[in-house]
Structure 1
Amino acid sequence: MEEIYNGLYQVQEELAEIEKETMVAAVCNQSGKVQFIVQLMHNKEGQFAAFFHKTVREYQHRIKAEDTIVAIAETEEDLAEIEGLRKGIQILFVPLDFIPKSQKETLRNLGITRKRKKLYPLILSLNDSKLLSRNIKGAEVTFCKKVVDWLTQEGNLALLAATTKPTENNTLSKITYHTKKKESVYEQGDILQFEEELTYEEFIGYKGEKPHLYVPELTLYRAKKGIQLSTSESFEIRLMLSPTHFYGKDEKDGPQYILIIAFGMEIALIEPMDTLDPKFIQNTLIEFYKDVPMTPKKWMTKGVFAPFLKDYLDPVMEFFKTPFEISSEDSVIDTYTFDHFFHLITSDDPYYDFDDYDDYEDLEDFDLSEELREFRDFHEEAKRAPFVEKELEEFQNAMIAAVKFLAKNSKATTNELKKHLKENEVRKEMIAAVFQELDDLGYSFPNLT
């Protein structure tokens, strides 16, 4: 590591004499095979960033991620999630306070911190599927040394600065390195033509089959038959990288994901996923319909995984005749941070012991999503108490009838609701329980007679 750090400082010093602030090229052997791709960015204040890539695919991966950030990132969570899909090695010169403890210890052991530098190299592996520890290791150390050795060879930085940016898509300037002579050659116009375009599926890391319906039709018909209410609300569904990439001590290999459903002002469902599993996603939506037997005006999604999610949920959405779109509308899910998500998937009592959720409990108007949360919680209690199952089922049906009536008659009086429930053969005791529940939820009638 000492050779890498010292070489990076040498590159930083030499860049001060070069006016060109951004340069990138593919360094190939005499047969045209890519040895590495290097990109440098610097300014006169000594700020310096570099990216090292082993292959064209790695480079394409990072560029696509950065283009996606510009196109769709709206929150810090969007930014972190898309950055988590990059590949390669990233190096930044930053103040010592920004260096993680593990790398700071290495710098101290090598005596580099005693030199009182203003900025120190922060070296990150973007290839680590878990973003909790991103130090380079093993073959990555050898690779970094190879690139730094080339950069510090006499004349190579000037050669890199002399390359021109190709005007064609999927191309890079090409420098040919003669390994035996240890000489690099660049002739104006030398370019490397990329392989085929990086596909969206490869970018997000999906290698499975094309979308189709995984849920048996009988299961779909049963779920559809159980739908008891339609609402004018829109529901959100989102597929994201799991916050375990950014918090916690989960040591599982490979990326992990979360599937989130939200409506109103709350997260209604959050399911951790170890892989991009379309079958699991479709079945999760069906289970949601069983627990919350209502259909929204439309479903919405957004984010870097939105095209994937839409492709694999469209067969289910078509069966339920519900529009499903990738939306640019404001998102309830965007109001939650990775801290919120981490809490929701790790807490034993996620809805009631997180202080920040108090912000969502003081809503002035009656919120259908709040009622559904209470309905869902009540339903869960019923599962744990089978001896009162019949009475609970009666109460649930009464609540559904009340909510359905109020959704269509927002200015209904208490007497009108009572009359509607009696017409639906709801017992007097259950009508009282329904009104008590509505009162607890903060629903106010225009006429209290």
Structure 2
Amino acid sequence: MKEIYNGLYQVQEALTKFDKEFMVAAVCNKAGKVQFIVQLMHNKEGQFAAFFHKTVREYQHRIRAEEAIVALAETEEDLDEIEGLRKGIQIVFVPLEFIPKSQKMTLRDLGITRKRKKLYPLIFSLNDSKLLSRDLKVSEVNFCKKVLDWLTQEGNLALLSSTSKSTEKNSLPKITYNPKKEESIYEQGDILQFEEELTYEEFIGYKGEKPKLYVPELSLYRVKKGIQFSVPETFEIRLMLSPSHFYGDDEKNGPQYILIITTDMEIALIEPMYKLDPEFIQNALLGFYNDVPMTPGRWVTRGVFAPFLKECLDPVMEIFKIPFTISTEESVIDMYSHEELFHLITSEDPYYDFDGFDDFNEFNSMEELREFRDFHEGAKKSSSVESELEELQSALSMALEYISNHETITYNELKKFLQGKNIRPLNISAVIEGLIEAGCLLPDSK
């Protein structure tokens, strides 16, 4: 690593002599094969960032993700998730306090921190599928050395600075490099044209067939028949990278994605997924309908996986005759952090809304959090059935009293009344369903 750090400082210092603050090119061999793609950004104050890519596909992944960040990211979790789809090596010079412990120890062992520099190189890989340990692997260390060897050879930074930004889509300035002679050549107009654009499916990592209807239509019609009433609300279904990418144990075999279904007030279903599986997604929606036999006025989704999720569920939604759109509206899911979502997928009770977790962020390790959770889960289970029944009975009594005191009552009025009494959404649904069956509240009274 010492060669890498020394090379980065050498490049940082040399760049202050160039006015051009953004440089990018594909460095190819004589046959035109890409050896690496390098992108540098700097200013006169010594701020410096770089991206190294082994292939065109890696570069396209990162560019596509950054375009999505600009278009889609509205929360910190959105930003993290889309960044999780980038590829390559990222280097940025930052104050020492922003360097993670593992890299800080390396800097100290090499004596770099003793030089008391204002900024230090933060180096991390974007290629780790779990994104929890971003330190470079051995192969990536060797790759960085290869790129920095080229950048520090005399004349190559000046050559990189002389390249013209390509105006053509899917193309980069091309520098031809002969490693034996250590000779680099660039002529104005030399362009590497990408053969094909990165597809959306490749960007999100889906390698299967085009989604179709996997569930037998008879099963769908049975589920549809079992839906007892419709509510004039919007429910959301969203596909996301698993929070285990950003929080929790560094397990390579953990779930890669999660599927979340929410009512208009809370998360109703959360399912870990180990691969992008359209059939699993369709069955998860049917499982929701079996557990909650009501349907919303419309379904929405959002996020970087939204087009894929919509394509997976459109065949089901067509049979249910429910509008399903991609939305930019704020949602219930945006209220949850990665830590809270991680708790939900590791908890035995996904409906547990973090009661007693006021000091959630004060836990020093996942082991402490699990011990706390297991203790409270054990205490909660002993009385969970009794408390649920008590709340349901109380909600029914309040609803009947409210109906008796009003000549007419609408679905929304009753729902708002029960919400004001802090009744859980699932119990509100159960009460309304029971009243409809008893003839006290008509399904179309809403």
TM-score (normalised: structure 1): 0.81
Q: Which residue of 1 aligns with 2:280?
A: 280
- Take 1:297 and 1:251, find their aligned partners in 2: how far apart are those partners? 40
Greater shift in the superposed pair: 122-131 or 338-347: 338-347
CA contact under 8 A between 1:130 and 1:253: conserved in structure 2? Answer: no
Task: Provide closer, same or farther for how the CA distance between residues 181 and 337 of structure 1 changes in structure 2, counting only shifts above 3 A.
Answer: same
- 2:423 equivalent among 431, 435, 441: 441
Task: Provide closer, same or farther for how the CA distance between residues 17 and 168 of structure 1 changes in structure 2, counting only shifts above 3 A.
Answer: same
Unaligned ranges ≥5, structure 1: 359-380, 419-434, 444-449
Q: Which residue of 1 aligns with 2:212?
A: 212
Q: Which residue of 2 aligns with 1:361?
A: none
Q: Which residue of 1 aligns with 2:118?
A: 118
Q: Which residue of 2 aligns with 1:152?
A: 152
Task: Provide closer, same or farther for how the CA distance between residues 436 and 331 of structure 1 changes in structure 2, counting only shifts above 3 A.
Answer: closer
Task: Provide closer, same or farther for how the CA distance between residues 17 and 355 of structure 1 changes in structure 2, counting only shifts above 3 A.
Answer: farther
The question of 1:81 aligning with 2:92 is answered no
C-alpha displacement of 1:439: 6.3
Q: Which residue of 1 aligns with 2:141?
A: 141
CA contact under 8 A between 1:130 and 1:255: conserved in structure 2? Answer: no
C-alpha displacement of 1:349: 4.6
CA contact under 8 A between 1:129 and 1:254: conserved in structure 2? Answer: no
Aligned to 1:297, the other structure's residue is in SS state: strand
- Take 1:38 and 1:71, find their aligned partners in 2: how far apart are those partners? 25
Q: Which residue of 2 aligns with 1:291?
A: 291
Task: Provide closer, same or farther for how the CA distance between residues 75 and 10 of structure 1 changes in structure 2, counting only shifts above 3 A.
Answer: same
Per-residue displacement from partner, 1:168-202 (whole Å, max 9, x unpaired)?
11110000001221110100110000120100000
The residue type equivalent to 2:354 in the other structure is D
The residue type equivalent to 2:75 in the other structure is T
C-alpha displacement of 1:339: 2.2
C-alpha displacement of 1:353: 3.3
- Take 1:257 and 1:414, find their aligned partners in 2: how far apart are those partners? 48
The alignment yields a C-alpha RMSD, in angstroms, of 2.9
C-alpha displacement of 1:436: 11
C-alpha displacement of 1:416: 5.5
- Take 1:55 and 1:238, find their aligned partners in 2: how far apart are those partners? 31
The residue type equivalent to 1:353 in the other structure is F
The residue type equivalent to 1:280 in the other structure is F
Aligned to 2:212, the other structure's residue is in SS state: coil
- Take 1:149 and 1:201, find their aligned partners in 2: how far apart are those partners? 35
CA contact under 8 A between 1:317 and 1:324: conserved in structure 2? Answer: yes
> Structure 2 matches for 1:295-334, cutoff 5 A?
295-334=295-334
Aligned to 2:173, the other structure's residue is in SS state: strand
Per-residue displacement from partner, 1:225-265 (whole Å, max 9, x unpaired)?
11001010010111001111111104134871111111222
CA contact under 8 A between 1:177 and 1:183: conserved in structure 2? Answer: yes
Q: Percent identity?
A: 73
C-alpha displacement of 1:332: 2.0
Q: Which residue of 2 aligns with 1:353?
A: 354
The residue type equivalent to 1:81 in the other structure is E
Aligned to 2:127, the other structure's residue is in SS state: coil
C-alpha displacement of 1:22: 0.4
Per-residue displacement from partner, 1:42-96 (whole Å, max 9, x unpaired)?
0111110000000111100000000010011111010000000000000011111
Greater shift in the superposed pair: 244-253 or 202-211: 244-253
Q: Which residue of 2 aligns with 1:426?
A: none
TM-score (normalised: structure 2): 0.81
CA contact under 8 A between 2:38 and 2:53: conserved in structure 1? Answer: yes
CA contact under 8 A between 1:129 and 1:253: conserved in structure 2? Answer: no
- Take 1:34 and 1:101, find their aligned partners in 2: how far apart are those partners? 34
The residue type equivalent to 1:36 in the other structure is F
CA contact under 8 A between 2:255 and 2:273: conserved in structure 1? Answer: no
Task: Provide closer, same or farther for how the CA distance between residues 110 and 439 of structure 1 changes in structure 2, counting only shifts above 3 A.
Answer: closer
Aligned to 1:232, the other structure's residue is in SS state: strand
Task: Provide closer, same or farther for how the CA distance between residues 53 and 66 of structure 1 changes in structure 2, counting only shifts above 3 A.
Answer: same
CA contact under 8 A between 2:255 and 2:272: conserved in structure 1? Answer: no
Unaligned ranges ≥5, structure 2: 360-380, 410-416, 429-446
Q: Which residue of 2 aligns with 1:432?
A: none
Task: Provide closer, same or farther for how the CA distance between residues 438 and 115 of structure 1 changes in structure 2, counting only shifts above 3 A.
Answer: closer
> Structure 2 matches for 1:360-375, cutoff 5 A?
none
Task: Provide closer, same or farther for how the CA distance between residues 357 and 416 of structure 1 changes in structure 2, counting only shifts above 3 A.
Answer: farther
- Take 2:255 and 2:333, find their aligned partners in 1: how far apart are those partners? 21
CA contact under 8 A between 1:300 and 1:325: conserved in structure 2? Answer: yes
Q: Which residue of 1 aligns with 2:256?
A: 256
Greater shift in the superposed pair: 204-213 or 110-119: 110-119
C-alpha displacement of 1:346: 2.2
> Structure 2 matches for 1:6-17, cutoff 5 A?
6-17=6-17
- Take 1:268 and 1:174, find their aligned partners in 2: how far apart are those partners? 52
- Take 1:181 and 1:225, find their aligned partners in 2: how far apart are those partners? 75
Task: Provide closer, same or farther for how the CA distance between residues 354 and 49 of structure 1 changes in structure 2, counting only shifts above 3 A.
Answer: farther
- Take 1:173 and 1:135, find their aligned partners in 2: how far apart are those partners? 29
Aligned to 1:90, the other structure's residue is in SS state: strand
- Take 1:5 and 1:121, find their aligned partners in 2: how far apart are those partners? 7
Aligned to 2:118, the other structure's residue is in SS state: coil
Q: Which residue of 2 aligns with 1:366?
A: none
- Take 1:206 and 1:290, find their aligned partners in 2: how far apart are those partners? 28
- Take 1:20 and 1:356, find their aligned partners in 2: how far apart are those partners? 51
The residue type equivalent to 1:16 in the other structure is T
The residue type equivalent to 1:199 in the other structure is T
Q: Which residue of 1 aligns with 2:176?
A: 176
Q: Which residue of 1 aligns with 2:339?
A: 339
CA contact under 8 A between 2:7 and 2:149: conserved in structure 1? Answer: yes
CA contact under 8 A between 2:244 and 2:255: conserved in structure 1? Answer: no
